[in-house]
Structure 1
Amino acid sequence: MKKIIIGMLVLLMLFTVVGAAAAQSGKYALVVKSAGNPFMEKVKDGFTKAINEVGGEVIYKAPAEPTVSAQIIMIQQLITQRVDAIAISANDPEALRPALQKAMNRGIKVLSLDSSVNPNSRMVHVNQADPEQIGRVQIQGIAKMIGGDGQIAVLSATSQATNQNLWIDWMKKELEKPKYDEIELVKVAYGDDLRDKSVSETEALLKSYPDLEGIIAPTTVGIAAAGKVLTDKGLVGEVYLTGLGLPSEMAEYIKNGVSPWMYLWNPIDLGYLAGYAAEALVTEEITGEVGESFTAGDLGEKEVIKAGDGTEIMLGAPFRFDADNIDQWKEVY
C-alpha cells in the first residue's frame, strides 16, 4: 500500500510539473492597432522579452490599417490556432466584444493594453498611466506654453480609440477650471495613427484656425507628424506642440523649440508588463480580480486594481521629456 501511495504522489507531482511547463510554453498572442506604428513596435519588443523569459511563444498580429474589422479577423484566426492568451490594443472597445467573448468561451485568457476593450470582453486591462493624470497634464503643459491665452486643438488617433477618448475627456474637464477661461479648444482632429493623414490634419488645423497657438497630440504618430509640419513651416514660437511622443522621434522637435516638452511612459515596459500579466492569467496566478498580485519580472510586484466596471494593472505615471533629458532617452526608445 505504501508503494502505491508513493507511486500516486510521484504521478501527481509529474502531472503538476508537466501542466506548469505546458502553461509556461504556451502561445501568447499580441494584437496591436496597426503595422508600422513605432509605439506598438516597442510594445511588441517588451511583450516578446517577457514571454521569452517565461518560455512561451509569441504570435504577433498587426493589421495594415488601424481598423476594427482587421482585428476581428485576427482574433478569429487566433481562436483557430488555439492560443493560450490574447493581449490586444483595441481599435474599437465595443465592436471587438463578440470576438473576444468567443475567445474567452474557448478558454483563451484575454487582456487589453494601451487602448482597452469593454470590461465584459477581457479579464484585466494593462494601463500605462492614470487616464486623469494623462489628460490633465497635457492641458497644463500647453497652457503654460501659450501663456494661458489662445486657441488650441487636439490631434488624436482614431475616433474610436478608447484611451485617446478618455484622455480627451479629462482634457476637457481640466479646461473647465476658471484659470483656463482664456483658452479655447477649437477642434479635435483625427489622424488615425497614420503619418500622412496626421500631416494633412495638422495642415488643415493651421489653415482653418490661423490664430491657433497650440496643438496637443496624445499619439506618438500624430505628435511626430505635427512636429515636422510646424518645423517645415517655420512656426517655432508661434504654434506650440505637446502630447505623447517617442523620445527618439521627438528629440529634434524638442531641441528646436517646436515642442518645449512632451510626455510618455516606456512602451517597452508596457508590453513587458502585459506579457507577464498574460502569463499570470494562463498559469492562474491571477484571474483579474481586485486585490490579486503577481511578480512582473524586472518590474516587480504588481496589483490588480478597480477600473470603472472592470479591473486593471497600472504601469506608472506619465514622464516629462524636455531639452534637459531628451538626449539620454532618445537612444533608449
Structure 2
Amino acid sequence: MNKLMTALLGASLLSTPVYAQSAWTGSDDQPNSPLACTGESAAPEPGEYNGGTPTNAPDRKGKDITVVDIPKLVGVGYFASTAEGMQEAAKELGNITINTDGPTRANIDEQITFVDNYITSGVDGILFAANDPVAIAPVLKKALDAGINVVGYDADAEADARQWFVNQALPNGVAKSMMDQLVSEIGEDGSFAIVTSTFTTPNQARWIAEMQAYTEKCYPNLTFLETVEAQEDNILSFNQAQTLINKYGEELDGILGMTSVATPAAAEAVQQNGLCGKVAVVGLALPNAMKPYINGDCITSTILWNTVDLGYAAAQVMRQVADGSLQPGATSVEAGRLGELQIVNQSQVLLGAPKVFTKDDINDFDF
C-alpha cells in the first residue's frame, strides 16, 4: 500500500465515525436464480434480444471511429485497468480511438453530465459503467437517438438504453463464489456484514440480492448482519469497516467487500485492529491491492475477474457493433485474444466466471 493510502487510512481513525446503516439485502425487484450448492450449473440461453438500436446511425464499417469511455469514476485502480484493456484493444484493432473521461466520485448526476456533453461534442460510440441503471437510461437513449453506438460494461443500464452489455460475470456466479469462499473461511454458522458502494449501484445490488438468495438456499445458518454504503471512497470504506468491527465485536466473523476500494480498506481495518485470522475479509478487489494482506497472512483470498480483459472485451464489442458484425440474435461474439465469448441474458456478452486469488497464485498477476 502506498504512503498516501496509509496516511489517509491512518488519518481516518481520527475522523468523525461513520455509522452503519440499516440492513439491506440488495432487493431490486428482479427475480433471483441461485446456482446449485454443489457442482456446476449450465449458463442461461441467450434469449430474444432486448437491447436498444441507434437511430439513423451512419455506416461505420471498417472506418476510424472515436469512442469515449465513461466509467463510474476515474482515479481508481479498477477503472484504470479497464481503460488499459481498452487501449490494448484499440492498438490491436488500429481503427478505434478511445478516450476515458468521467467523474472523480461515483456520482450519477455527474456521470450523466459527462455523457450528455459527449453527445453534444460528437462521438461515434459511448462505453459506460453505470452508477445508477435507471437514472442514466434517458441520457443513453438520447445518445442512441443521435445515432451513437452505446455499449456498457461492469455495471449495466436499462437494457433498451444501450445495445450490448459486457458482463464480467453472471450475478449468481459472483454470489456463489463470494459465499462459498466466505463459508470456507468462517464456517456455515458464522456472521458477516457487507460494505458496498451505494444501494443504487446496479451490479452490486444484483450481486447482493443473489448472495442473499444463495445463502438462504445453501447456507441457512449464516447470519447476515447488515449492509453499509461507502461510495467507493477509501476513507469512508475504512471507517465503515471500523464501525462494523466496533459495533459487532466478537459477533463479526467476516466482512464482504463489494468494490475494489472497500475490500482492501476492510482488510486494512482488520489489520490495524489486530484481527488478522479472526475476522475474514472476502471480496472483489484488484490482486495488486490485496497482495500486502494476502502475502502477509492477514487475509486469505480475494475474488475478481481480469479487469484488463473486461475493458479489452468492451472495446472489441464496440468495434463489432460499429461494424454491424454483432447483430441481435447472435449467440456468441469473437473478441480478439479472448476468443469466442457467449451471449447471455438477451443482450449481454459474458466475460466468464470469477476467479479466487490466494497466496498460491496472486503474485502471478499484475493488475
TM-score w.r.t. length of structure 1: 0.89
Are 1:236 and 1:256, in contact at CA under 8 Å, matched by a contact in 2?
no
Could you tell me which residue of structure 2 aligns to residue 255 of structure 1?
295
Could you tell me which residue of structure 2 aligns to residue 191 of structure 1?
230
Classify 1:290/1:196 alpha carbon distance in 2 versus 1 (closer, same or farther; 3 Å): farther
Alpha-carbon displacement from aligned partner over 1:273-318 (angstroms, at most 9, x marks no partner): 000101111111113x23254321111223433x1xx410011111
Could you tell me which residue of structure 2 aligns to residue 200 of structure 1?
239
Q: Provide the secondary structure at the position in 2 that maps to 1:176.
A: helix
- Who wins on radius of gyration, i.e. which is larger? 1
- Give the drift of 1:21: 4.4
Q: Provide the secondary structure at the position in 2 that maps to 1:302.
A: strand
Could you tell me which residue of structure 1 aligns to residue 169 of structure 2?
129
Of residues 180-189 and 123-132 in structure 1, the stretch that sits farther from structure 2 once superposed is: 180-189
Q: Provide the secondary structure at the position in 2 that maps to 1:216.
A: strand
Q: How many angstroms apart in 2 are the aligned matches of 1:295 and 1:328? A: 26
Could you tell me which residue of structure 2 aligns to residue 76 of structure 1?
116
Alpha-carbon displacement from aligned partner over 1:214-234 (angstroms, at most 9, x marks no partner): 011121111011111111111
Of residues 270-279 and 52-61 in structure 1, the stretch that sits farther from structure 2 once superposed is: 52-61
Q: How many angstroms apart in 1 are the aligned matches of 2:73 and 2:239? A: 19
Q: How many angstroms apart in 2 are the aligned matches of 1:116 and 1:155? A: 20
Are 2:61 and 2:322, in contact at CA under 8 Å, matched by a contact in 1?
no
Q: Which amino acid aligns with 2:127?
A: A
Could you tell me which residue of structure 1 aligns to residue 13 of structure 2?
none
Of residues 231-240 and 143-152 in structure 1, the stretch that sits farther from structure 2 once superposed is: 143-152
Could you tell me which residue of structure 1 aligns to residue 256 of structure 2?
216
Q: Does 1:317 align with 2:357?
A: no
Q: Which amino acid aligns with 1:115?
A: A
Q: Does 1:88 align with 2:124?
A: no
* Equivalent position to 1:106, from 124, 143, 146: 146
Q: Does 1:326 align with 2:365?
A: no
Q: Provide the secondary structure at the position in 1 that maps to 2:253.
A: strand
Are 1:152 and 1:215, in contact at CA under 8 Å, matched by a contact in 2?
yes
Alpha-carbon displacement from aligned partner over 1:37-89 (angstroms, at most 9, x marks no partner): 21110000001211232222112112011111111111111111221111100
Are 1:89 and 1:114, in contact at CA under 8 Å, matched by a contact in 2?
yes
Q: Does 1:47 align with 2:47?
A: no
Q: Provide the secondary structure at the position in 1 that maps to 2:103.
A: coil
Q: Provide the secondary structure at the position in 2 that maps to 1:83.
A: coil
User: How much identity, in percent, do the aligned residues show?
Assistant: 29
Q: How many angstroms apart in 2 are the aligned matches of 1:155 and 1:19? A: 43
Q: Which amino acid aligns with 1:320?
A: V
Are 1:84 and 1:108, in contact at CA under 8 Å, matched by a contact in 2?
yes
Q: How many angstroms apart in 1 are the aligned matches of 2:124 and 2:71? A: 17
Q: How many residues align?
A: 307
Are 1:239 and 1:258, in contact at CA under 8 Å, matched by a contact in 2?
no
Q: CA RMSD in A?
A: 1.5
Q: Does 1:227 align with 2:267?
A: yes
- Give the drift of 1:259: 2.1
Q: How many angstroms apart in 2 are the aligned matches of 1:294 and 1:152? A: 39
Are 2:60 and 2:322, in contact at CA under 8 Å, matched by a contact in 1?
no
Are 2:277 and 2:299, in contact at CA under 8 Å, matched by a contact in 1?
no
Are 1:150 and 1:183, in contact at CA under 8 Å, matched by a contact in 2?
yes
Q: Provide the secondary structure at the position in 2 that maps to 1:111.
A: strand
- Give the drift of 1:257: 3.0
* Equivalent position to 1:174, from 211, 214, 218: 214
* Equivalent position to 1:279, from 308, 315, 319: 319
> Which has the larger helix fraction?
1
Classify 1:19/1:316 alpha carbon distance in 2 versus 1 (closer, same or farther; 3 Å): closer
Alpha-carbon displacement from aligned partner over 1:159-203 (angstroms, at most 9, x marks no partner): 2111111110111011113x5233210111111111111011111
Q: How many angstroms apart in 1 are the aligned matches of 2:256 and 2:121? A: 41
TM-score w.r.t. length of structure 2: 0.81
- The unaligned stretches of length 5 or more in structure 2 are 1-58
Q: Provide the secondary structure at the position in 1 that maps to 2:241.
A: helix
Classify 1:303/1:152 alpha carbon distance in 2 versus 1 (closer, same or farther; 3 Å): closer
Could you tell me which residue of structure 2 aligns to residue 7 of structure 1?
none
Q: Which amino acid aligns with 1:150?
A: G
Q: How many angstroms apart in 2 are the aligned matches of 1:275 and 1:181? A: 41
Q: Provide the secondary structure at the position in 2 that maps to 1:263.
A: strand
Alpha-carbon displacement from aligned partner over 1:220-271 (angstroms, at most 9, x marks no partner): 1110111111111110111111111111110111123332112111000000
Of residues 154-163 and 92-101 in structure 1, the stretch that sits farther from structure 2 once superposed is: 154-163
Q: How many angstroms apart in 1 are the aligned matches of 2:114 and 2:361? A: 39
Q: Which amino acid aligns with 2:98?
A: V
Q: Which amino acid aligns with 2:116?
A: Q
Could you tell me which residue of structure 2 aligns to residue 291 of structure 1?
330
Runs of 4+ in 1 over 4 A off after TM superposition: none
Q: How many angstroms apart in 1 are the aligned matches of 2:195 and 2:329? A: 34
